Amino acid sequence: MTTIIWTIAIIALLGLVLAVVLFVVAERFKVEEDPRIDEVEKVMPGANCGGCGFAGCRAFADAAVKAPNLDNNYCPVGGNEVMKKVAAILGYEVKEKAPMVAVVRCNGTCEARPRTNDYDGYASCRVKAALYSGDTGCSFGCLGCGDCVAACQFGALSMDPVTGLPVVDQEKCTACGACVKACPKAIIELRPKGPRGMRMYVSCVNKDKGPGVKKACENACIGCSICFKTCTHGAIVFENNVAYIDPEKCKLCRECEAVCPTGAIHGVNFPKPIDKEAVKARIKERNAKAAQGAASDTKKEEA
């Protein structure tokens, strides 16, 4: 009995000594944390999606508190309203940013992009991309396994069973960028929503040359550069055999959409369907006037 009592006493004393040591060490080496981190974290949406570039909302709050300003810190899920609250807590000024939305830049529907083989492996775009170029003649297009859908925490993406392509619900999309990271073909892009949700984009990323592209997908950008030559605003960049519309320069005139021979350029959320013939007539009239003006200038110079 005496042995048992002494054993319990020694263990209790040892536990007490270790507890005191741990307390002293914790107090000696504890790191003081800025209380504003907790305040900022409370106003964050709590999605922990990583769209801000940090591991989670607390990591973002910690970085925001330590930063000299909020120029390089932005929560895409909370948007401008959350950033205003963060700025108020930290005493910073914050610039409003245009709301963004995910855009699927692939126009290769099941009908336009016929299959050349059948994949019978694990249903993952990333795995599929690592094994081969895809089920069709287009090695740049959507692989159709829905990795982007699985990555989205907000239910903003779904696979269209008819087209075989992902569809973005712009009302649910928070522009967190998870789908962009999940797509091994890099066909998903974050773009400004645009005024009243109206925007233009080229729904293709195929960099092959025209004849091969057309054979692989009827809806692809064939690199004809007609849109590039038509745009009077300098909004279209033509590189690596594919066109790209700069959202900052685009004036939403829809002329590029009207002249695109394959329908690779999409206009979204416009109040009326585009009248391609009327737009082409407008372009033709403008070009005729420009040609007349150039001829007149030439005659004046000769005179």
Domain boundaries, given as residue ranges, for the chain:
36-90, 110-188, 194-303
The CATH class for the domain spanning 110-188 reads: alpha beta
Fold of 194-303: Alpha-Beta Plaits (3.30.70)
Longest dimension (CA), the chain: 126
User: Taking 60 as the threshold, does the pLDDT of residue 303 lie above it?
Assistant: no
Contacts of 286 (CB under 8 A, 6+ apart): none
Considering only 17-26, 215-224, 251-260, which range has the smallest mean pLDDT? Answer: 17-26
State the chain's mean pLDDT as an integer.
91
User: Taking 90 as the threshold, does the pLDDT of residue 149 lie above it?
Assistant: yes
What is the β-pairing status of strands 188-192 and 166-168? unpaired
Average pLDDT over residues 121-132: 93
Q: Which residue has the tokens 């107090």?
A: 27
10 Å CB burial of residue 217 (0-12, 13-18, 19+) is buried
Distance in angstroms (rounded) separating the CA atoms of residues 148 and 233: 33
In CATH terms, 36-90 corresponds, of 2.40.50.140, 3.40.50.1820, 1.10.15.40, 1.20.120.550, to: 1.10.15.40
Q: What is the pLDDT of residues 230-244, one digit of tens each?
A: 999 999 999 899 999
Q: What is the pTM of this model?
A: 0.81
Q: What is the pLDDT of residues 58-105, one digit of tens each?
A: 999 999 999 999 988 999 999 999 999 999 999 998 888 999 999 999
Distance in angstroms (rounded) separating the CA atoms of residues 82 and 60: 12
Q: What is the pLDDT of residues 27-53, one digit of tens each?
A: 777 667 789 999 999 999 998 888 888
Average pLDDT over residues 243-255: 96
The reply to whether 194-303 shares the fold of 110-188 is: yes
Length of the chain: 303
